[in-house]
Amino acid sequence: MGIKRIMLLGAGGQVGQALRAETLPADWELGAYTHAECDITNHRAVQETIQKFRPDLVINSAAMTAVDKCETEQEQATAANFRGPANLAAQCSAIDAPLIHLSTDYVFDGTDGGKPYRADDKMNPVNFYGHTKMMGEEAIRHEHGWHVILRVSSVFGAYGTNLLTKMLQTIDTRDEIKSVTDQISGPTPSQDVAKTLIAITNAIMVGKTNGFGTFHLCGEPPATRLEFAQEIMKAYAPYTTRRPSILPALTSDFPGFAPRPPYSVLECSKIREIYGIAQKPWRDGLAEAMQILMQGRRQVA
């Protein structure tokens, strides 16, 4: 095969930016579209973009990801996370282009007693974001056989707004930070998600036929939000004189937020067996992201 025409939607988000920051395979032509350039809820916009770019494969990293906002802006969340992916899958099916779609650990309720979730475990979301992402997954399965649904969790990195960049801002501005010990997940560097998307795309483009279906990817080991916050402080310490206290808290200390699954660690054996992609330590991804973010900043100690 010659040039592979790969279409990326949601290109302005953190995963979209991380993918564009990778050195892409020489035989790729990437058509990257931000929200403003192609709204996946707009049937005609998607149709025109597809007709113009003529993709061999489509990657969808577009979504409404603000979990609490999804609770209050349900129509917008349903459009972005359910109707948009459904529309996209139908249009990909019509042109026989495989679709790689990102989903989330929040499709699970997280009450499984500390057992990582397998890709075929029963979904049972506890918040509206998870509900819309589950419906998006189901619509894709219904519309298009050639799909890969890649569930990831607690994505962070050097690009966009995410758990890492928000924590750095909090360290800069607060003397006391409370972080919960009763939400556990596998933090996932956005660069690892990007590399995985590239590897899956390449495998499918050279004719891998057993690579469709639902897969999990997250960093290891599992961590509470508190542990993750403490590691961020450690990684940031050489660049700042700020030393806020980072204190343990419980989810119930923060009323008014959408419920979160208490334990949503993803079991990642399927992606290793089918694609040869192994889980990586998220601390390595944190170090890499910090290097990018702190470029040009002098160490203070």
Ligand X SMILES: NC(=O)c1ccc[n+]([C@@H]2O[C@H](COP(=O)([O-])OP(=O)(O)OC[C@H]3O[C@@H](n4cnc5c(N)ncnc54)[C@H](OP(=O)(O)O)[C@@H]3O)[C@@H](O)[C@H]2O)c1
Q: Which residues are catalytic?
A: 129
Which residues inside 28-47 make contact with ligand X, applying CB under 6 A? 35, 39-41
Can you name the residues that pair with 180 across neighbouring β-strands? 249
DSSP helix/strand/coil, 2: coil
Identify which of residues 130 and 236 has a Cβ nearer to ligand X in the complex: 130
If we measure between CA atoms, which residue out of 158, 93, 104 comes closest to residue 131? 104
First to last CA, the chain: 53
Least distance (Å) from ligand X to the CB of residue 10? 3
Q: Which part of the chain contacts ligand X (CB under 6 A), choosing from 11-19, 109-117, 194-202, 285-293?
A: 11-19
Strand 223-224 and strand 184-185: the pairing is antiparallel
Q: Which part of the chain contacts ligand X (CB under 6 A), choosing from 13-21, 49-57, 119-127, 205-213?
A: 13-21
Strand 147-152 and strand 245-249: the pairing is unpaired
Print the binding letters for residues 116-135 with ligand X: x by CB under 6 A, - otherwise: -----------------x--
Q: Which part of the chain contacts ligand X (CB under 6 A), choosing from 8-16, 90-98, 114-122, 204-212?
A: 8-16
Please tell me the count of residues contacting ligand X according to CB under 6 A.
Answer: 27
Gap between the Cα atoms of 11 and 36, Å rounded: 10
Q: Which of 31, 125, 160, 261 binds ligand X (CB under 6 A)?
A: 160
Least distance (Å) from ligand X to the CB of residue 83? 9
Question: DSSP states of 123-192 as a string?
Answer: P--SSHHHHHHHHHHHHHHHH-SSEEEEEE-SEE-SSSS-HHHHHHHHHHH-SEEEEESS-EE--EEHHH
Print the binding letters for residues 96-115 with ligand X: x by CB under 6 A, - otherwise: ------x-x-----------
- Which residue's Cβ has the minimum distance to ligand X? 13
Is there binding between residue 154 and ligand X (CB under 6 A)? yes
Site of tokens 């200390």: 253
Identify which of residues 27 and 66 has a Cβ nearer to ligand X in the complex: 66
Residue-wise burial string across 8-27, b where 16 or more C-beta atoms lie within 10 A, e elsewhere: bbbbbbbbbbbbeeeebeee
Identify which of residues 166 and 243 has a Cβ nearer to ligand X in the complex: 166
